[in-house]
Structure 1
């Protein structure tokens, strides 16, 4: 899987979150969607496990912390994918 595929996978998977985008995801990654989806889910699980020190932080700032940590851990992630992960995190933490 290329970095481009991973970034596209994150963005497409989260495009309508919490709604599903399964058809577009499967069509985009025809024949490889299971492998890419597994990696996307691994990264989302990792993002949700980031420990944020919430002292004095808003939900938005906590999302920024998660985005920045994921950027450090995964320099292959594009700004658009990191923004999608941030939105996912803040949606689930609200």
Structure 2
């Protein structure tokens, strides 16, 4: 998949949600039902992968923990934009809180 498509889809799907989640309806409205299903799967896999990353909490705050995960996640997925990483980070933070 073209990195610009997945990056934009992540921002479309998660951005502007009060409680961070993947909004399948927004994806369908933007990309059509067939492509939305594929994008939903890819975005879900990325979010699950980020949430599952181990963390050494030590004296880290929630924000520091999320930043640590996102830094390592960005190294693993250099194709992801800062905006896409930010939205994935919102999901990670929500799950860790």
Structure 1 length as normaliser, TM-score? 0.90
Q: Residue 64 and residue 22 in structure 1: after superposition, are their counterparts in 2 closer, same or farther (change >3 A)?
A: same
| Aligned positions of 1:1-94 closer than 5 A | 1-15=1-15, 16=17, 17-18=19-20, 21-30=23-32, 31-94=34-97
Q: Distance in 2 between matches of 1:68 and 1:19?
A: 21
Tell me, which stretches of 5 or more residues in structure 1 are unaligned?
Answer: none
Q: Residue 89 and residue 20 in structure 1: after superposition, are their counterparts in 2 closer, same or farther (change >3 A)?
A: closer
Tell me, which stretches of 5 or more residues in structure 2 are unaligned?
Answer: none
Structure 1 residue runs of 4 or more that deviate by more than 6 Å after TM superposition: none
Does the Cα contact within 8 Å between 2:21 and 2:91 map onto a contact in 1?
no
Q: Residue 46 and residue 20 in structure 1: after superposition, are their counterparts in 2 closer, same or farther (change >3 A)?
A: closer
Q: Distance in 1 between matches of 2:50 and 2:9?
A: 16
Shift of 1:43: 0.3
Instruction: Tell me how many residue pairs correspond in the alignment.
Output: 94
